[in-house]
Amino acid sequence: MGNMQISINESQERKTKPSTDGIAFGRNFTDHMFIADYTEGIGWHDHRIVPYEPITLDPSAVIFHYGQTVFEGLKAYRAKDGAIRLFRPEENFRRMNESCDRLCMPQIDEEDALKALKTLIKVERDWVPEAEGTSLYIRPYMIATEPHLGVAPSLTYKFIIILSPVGSYYKEGIAPVKILVENEYVRAVAGGTGAAKTAGNYAASLKAQAVAEKMGYSQVLWLDGVEKKYVEEVGSMNVFFKIDGEVITPALNGSILGGITRKSIIEMLQAWGTPVTERRISMEEIKTAQQEGRLDEAFGTGTAAVISPIGEFSWKGEAFTINGGQAGELSTKLYEELTGLQSGVKEDPFGWVTEIREEAAVRN
Ligand SMILES: *Cc1c(COP(=O)(O)O)cnc(C)c1O
């Protein structure tokens, strides 16, 4: 690696681009995708951009049986001046390698992966939507492809990047959600795979989510898998609480996924001089703070929504309102700063944004 060559096979057909107005998340894909193959003893090879189409795998491929797979999620934004912006993409590929390590999957060359992503986006540049709040969602992932029913790491893999235009997460302003504190099911346990972005964690979360939805809640608040006392995450987002003016988020303990939005918010708050602490926080502490009027705000963080304020939580049959069910001042400010910086409306004092420039286009 290091001198990766990407072959480009341009699609003869071009899809009609959907209107991003009211577009469903993750159902529309661009004309091309990036693929690289891995073979034990050879390494990564055959880096290519090809038409977006179904892939063929042997029915005994390891991915289908033992879930050896990892994924990432990030977005490309169109700035007012037409430039395409990526938010901390190197963090995604670093995290992908950490996930791969946990799942006994091969490492990718992070620089090559970023180069592959930029090349693919240049090919698909017309797919990056322009309307405010819209973006091109990027899904890099790796799957174990060896035909083998033995429980062992696969000897072959595919690394793929697909792209999907997405609309604005909040159509009518940043809206708070109602969440249900989950007391039966757990998402992940210490020593398990909670800190890795791997499919099994999401399969394991569907049941609780379905139950919560049926009860009228939009997400579940996950507690630790041992004592079911300490807060871990909300849905597939990290979670923050503002109590007595201090911002608190659960410390990364091995079962929590370390979000890039989470990390950025911590760094942003530190830059602003706002007290922010990473530590263990129990449901009991949150309930007490709410009852004593000290719980100012709560919100989830992740690439999709950026900030998702929590307006109400229900725990053991009791419901608690946060900030009168409204988006708080800090949640709103963080949302505006982060989305402003991503889309280029605001300055990027942190150097988090990578612009994709047309003149550097690589065409083979
Ligand atoms: C992806 C993800 C997050 C958020 O990560 P970001 O990098 O901020 O998008 C949080 N929790 C879980 C479980 C996730 O899968």
The predicted-structure confidence for 304-351, as pLDDT tens digits, reads as follows 999 999 999 999 999 999 999 999 999 999 999 999 999 999 999 999
Tell me what the pLDDT averaged over the chain comes to: 95
**Structure tokens of 94?**
């670093």
Nearest atom within ligand 1 for CA of residue 92: 7
Residue nearest to atom 12 of ligand 1 (CA): 236
Look at 19 and 40; give whichever has higher pLDDT: 40
- The pLDDT tens digits for 248-298 are 999 999 999 999 999 999 999 999 999 999 999 999 999 999 999 999 999
**CB 238 less than 6 A from any atom of ligand 1:** yes
| Owner of token pair 């069910």 | 325
Nearest atom within ligand 1 for CA of residue 197: 15
Classify the phi-psi angles of 137: left when phi > 0, otherwise alpha if psi is within -120 to 50, otherwise beta: beta
- The answer, yes or no, to whether residue 144 has pLDDT greater than 50, is yes
Look at 24 and 229; give whichever has higher pLDDT: 229
- Within this chain, domains 7-168 and 177-343 share the same CATH topology: no
Q: CA-CA distances (angstroms) from residue 278 to 85, 166, 238, 307? A: 29, 32, 12, 18
Range 42-54 average pLDDT: 98
pLDDT value at position 123?
Answer: 97
Exposure class string for 340-361: b at 16+ Cβ within 10 A, else e: ebbbbeeeeeeebbbebeeeee
- The answer, yes or no, to whether residue 2 has pLDDT greater than 70, is no
pLDDT value at position 357?
Answer: 77
Residue nearest to atom 14 of ligand 1 (CA): 236
pLDDT value at position 216?
Answer: 95
**CB 198 less than 6 A from any atom of ligand 1:** no
At 36, the amino acid letter reads A
CATH node for 7-168: 3.30.470.10
150 CA → ligand 1 middle, Å = 31
Residue nearest to atom 5 of ligand 1 (CA): 259
- Cβ neighbour number for residue 112 with a 10 Å cutoff: 19
**CB 146 less than 6 A from any atom of ligand 1:** no
pLDDT value at position 331?
Answer: 97
pLDDT value at position 359?
Answer: 56
- The candidate with the shortest Cα–Cα distance to 302, out of 247, 344, 256, 343, is 256
- The answer, yes or no, to whether residue 61 has pLDDT greater than 50, is yes
Name the residue of 238, 239, 260, 265 to mutate for ligand 1: max ligand atoms within 8 A of Cβ. 238
Nearest atom within ligand 1 for CA of residue 201: 13
**CB 237 less than 6 A from any atom of ligand 1:** yes
**CB 257 less than 6 A from any atom of ligand 1:** yes
pLDDT over 90 percentage in the chain: 92
**Structure tokens of 127?**
């797919």
Range 7-19 average pLDDT: 95
- The candidate with the shortest Cα–Cα distance to 339, out of 26, 75, 129, is 75
Range 69-89 average pLDDT: 97
- Cβ neighbour number for residue 25 with a 10 Å cutoff: 11
Protein fold of 177-343 = D-amino Acid Aminotransferase; Chain A, domain 2 (3.20.10)
262 CA → ligand 1 middle, Å = 8
Nearest atom within ligand 1 for CA of residue 301: 8
∠ CA 87-116-101 to the nearest 5 degrees?
Answer: 80
Domains in the chain: boundaries: 7-168, 177-343
8 CA → ligand 1 middle, Å = 31
Query: Which of the four pLDDT bands, split at 50, 70 and 90, describes residue 201?
Result: very high
Name the residue of 102, 236, 240, 267 to mutate for ligand 1: max ligand atoms within 8 A of Cβ. 236
Range 58-75 average pLDDT: 98
Of 166-175, 227-236, 339-348, 355-364, the least confident: 355-364
Look at 22 and 238; give whichever has higher pLDDT: 238
